[in-house]
Every structure is written in C-alpha cells, then in structure tokens.
Amino acid sequence: MKIAVLLSGGVDSSVALKLLQDQGHDVTAFYLKIWLEDELAFLGSCPWEEDLKYVQEICTTSQIPLEIIPMQKEYFDTVVAYTIQEVKEGRTPNPDIMCNNHVKFGLFFDKISEGNFDKIASGHYAQTYEKDGIHYLKQAPDPVKDQTYFLSRLSQKQLAKIIFPIGHLPKEEVRKLAEQYDLPNKSRKDSQGICFLGKFKYNEFLEHYLGERKGDLIEEGTGKKWGEHKGFWFHTVGQRKGINLSHGPWYVVRKDCAKNIVYISTHYHEKTRDTLQVTNLNWFAGHPPEKSQLKLKLRHGPEFHQAQCDFSTNTIKLAASDQGIASGQFAVFYDGDICLGSGMIV
C-alpha cells in the first residue's frame, strides 16, 4: 500500500515507519511542524529542532522520502484556541484528544489527500477492529501505554484510513526493535506532557494568554476567606497543588468563574463522587450500545471503572468513587477491550 507515516522523532513512530518499510509498503514520512516556538520561545527551549534532526536522519539512512508540513496556524486555530476557551469557561480541556481528531488525522489528511495514500500510519499504541462494516478501536496489549483514550473522538472515515503498526506490541518489544534497527533515537526517552507545550510549563502557557487576576480562596461550607489566588484558570477541581495554605491539605472543590472565586476544602475526599453527566457523545457505531454495563476510562492510563450507563439521560453511575471527575474532560466507553466511543463530562 501507499502509506503516509506521521513521524515525530520519537521511538514509537520511528519503529512504525521501519516496520512498514520492511513489509514492502510504499512509505512517505511526514513531520508536522506544530510547535509554538516563535510565540512562546521566552518560556524555554522547545524540542522540535531535536525531533526534526532525528526524523531527517532516519529518513536519510532508510532512503524514505520526507515532507515537512507547517501547521502552526491550523494547530492554533483548533487545538490551542479550544484549550484557552475551555480554561476560560472553568473546564478542564484535553488538547491531546483534539490534536488527534482535528490535526493529525483531520487537517493533515486534507492536506495530503491529493497524494492518494491508501492509509495514514502513526506510532500510537492502539489497534483497529472492524465488525459488520463498522470500525472500532481495540486496546493495545500494553495497558499502561494504550492510547485508545486519546483516539476516542475519531470518525468512521478516519478510523477506516488509519493503521497502527506497533499497536499490537508491548513497549519493551518496540524498544528491542529500535535496537535491532539501530535507530539514532533508540535510547531516547518518551515525550511527556501536553502535545503542543513540549517542555513548557502549563501554568506559564496559561499566564501568557490569560494573564493574572487575583481572587479569593473561600472555604466551602463556612465561607471563610483563607487567602488569594492568581486566577481561577490556574486551578482544577480536585487539585491540591498550588494552594499553599496552612492547616491543610486543601483541595479545590469548585470555581465561580464569573466572580473569580475558588472554593476549597480539607474534606474533599469525604464526598462521594460516583456520578457524572456526559454530552457531545461520539459513538463509532453511530448510536449508543445496547449494553448498560460498560467499562469506563476517565483519563489516560490503565485504570478502568465499572459503570452503569443510562444513555437516555446520559447519566453514568460508577461502581467506585473517583475524586478526579472534571467537567470538560472525556469519559471513554469500552466493551471488553473494544473502545466504543466517548462523551464530554459536564
């Protein structure tokens, strides 16, 4: 097949590229330049130059054509603008999900559509699964690395076009393959953090776009003012870090965005948090599942909740309490190891 491979400079996408080449496919590598290095250079060094160096070296030694696609504007208009708006509304955004949905497998595909590529490949830890003509996501065997959570907003058109060459492999096997291929990035550490920030600190990013505005830290229940904060957008419900008050630990309980008040409590974990509402549901099958008992992820990682789901009201009841339920984040639904889709938590 003729395959467009998204190459990031990391080990995972590099091994995916080499595997496809070994299988005899006609591969072209694409590096998406989405870093905000021009606007946010003052926050610190951004790793895109190092990424691109690895990408170019791998493609040169493997004799694979490489195209560098500038997408900063598209990235800002979709992912970054969404992130800023969600934070301003008091919600917790997930830019990585939006990046996959709108940029990597959205606008990028539109840009290369004239190339008549059969598939788009990436180094994500996920698998695709087809049943009765419907494409689903299937978990990777590595529960820690599985990235189906981040891919849960994709459409049928996107899923039909995507392949994940390393999705069936554990991370240790991918590292071994990188050694066998003697890739220049074989010992490179995995990237961490939000996709567009790289090594930048999230709060510094927020301060750049939203500034600071002092407001009160009020104890929930008593109404007592304990101190001040620099802006509600620096705080997330359930968060402990950054409050810096004595007589704690203190947790963020809720936020009044209009009045710029952050409500805090030392009894946060005593409250039962086992029910959530979802909206804007994306089902790979085009409709909710018939089952009401499903597995649920509230964040990327190996942990699942058992959930009782009422999709007539979009109310989800968890079998066990979770203190990290945050509006704006995504609840991702599974039947066994098959990802069915997701909804935004309200």
Q: Which domain holds residue 85?
A: 2-123+165-180
Q: In the prediction, which pLDDT does 304 show? A: 96
Together in a domain, 115 and 20: yes
Together in a domain, 107 and 222: no
Confidence of residue 50 (pLDDT cuts 50, 70, 90): confident
Q: In the prediction, which pLDDT does 251 show? A: 92
Q: In the prediction, which pLDDT does 198 show? A: 54
Q: Is the pLDDT of residue 223 over 80?
A: yes
Together in a domain, 318 and 331: yes
Together in a domain, 234 and 91: no
66 close to 59: Cβ distance less than 8 angstroms = yes
Structural domain total, the chain: 3
Together in a domain, 334 and 227: no
Together in a domain, 289 and 246: no
Together in a domain, 119 and 240: no
Residues marked as catalytic: 99, 195
Quick one: tokens of 187? 């010992």
Confidence of residue 39 (pLDDT cuts 50, 70, 90): low
What is the reported pTM? 0.91
Together in a domain, 27 and 107: yes
Q: Compute the average pLDDT of residues 66-73.
A: 90
pLDDT digits (tens, 9 = 90+) for 159-181: 999 999 999 999 999 999 999 99
Flag whether 196 is in a domain.
Answer: no
171 Cβ neighbours under 8 A, 6+ residues apart: 125, 142, 144, 145
Together in a domain, 69 and 7: yes
Among 147-161, 265-279, 293-307, 321-335, name the one with the lowest average pLDDT. Answer: 265-279
pLDDT digits (tens, 9 = 90+) for 142-164: 999 999 999 999 999 999 999 99
Flag whether 248 is in a domain.
Answer: yes
337 close to 138: Cβ distance less than 8 angstroms = yes
Q: In the prediction, which pLDDT does 318 show? A: 97
